[in-house]
Amino acid sequence: MIRKTVEICGKTVTFGASSLLPKIYRIHFGADIISDMNQLRKAFRAAQSLPEDATEEERQSAALDVMDLTIFERVAWAMAYHADKSGGVPEDPDEWLESFDGVFSIYEIFPIILDLWGMNNKTTSIPAKK
């Protein structure tokens, strides 16, 4: 398992990813993490790619919607739950989110999650043919 430990709202959180993560996500949310991560990555990049002189209308159309934020919360919880072997991460994602003092920013945490997801999905095999 690949792990990454970060501080969120003054609390140390370890995220983990392995081949078991899609199963954990599917069992808890009945959804495909690969599809959800692709959707979230696309929305996140669109929101970040706006020029500083973008109009308010452009900012609103590129802003992450409620579904994107829900996917982010689900992925963050699943990775934290997967990494935690001591039982410190509750089975209920809402309970986990409520354990933070304040609201953590998707713009700070998602790049870490995206990096961890990418490391987990890298292939380490060498193709037989070139």
CA–CA separation, 130 vs 83, rounded Å? 37
3-class secondary structure, 6: strand
Contact 21, 41 (CB under 8 A): no
pLDDT in tens, 77-121: 999 999 998 888 999 999 999 999 888 888 889 999 999 998 988
Q: Which residue, 40, 24, 38, 9, is CA-closest to 84? A: 24
Contact 2, 15 (CB under 8 A): no
3-class secondary structure, 67: helix
Share of the chain above pLDDT 90, in %: 55
CA–CA separation, 18 vs 120, rounded Å? 6
Which of 7-16, 43-52, 53-62, 117-126 is predicted most confidently? 7-16
Query: Who wins on pLDDT, 16 or 60?
Result: 16
Contact 123, 24 (CB under 8 A): no
pLDDT in tens, 88-97: 899 999 999 9
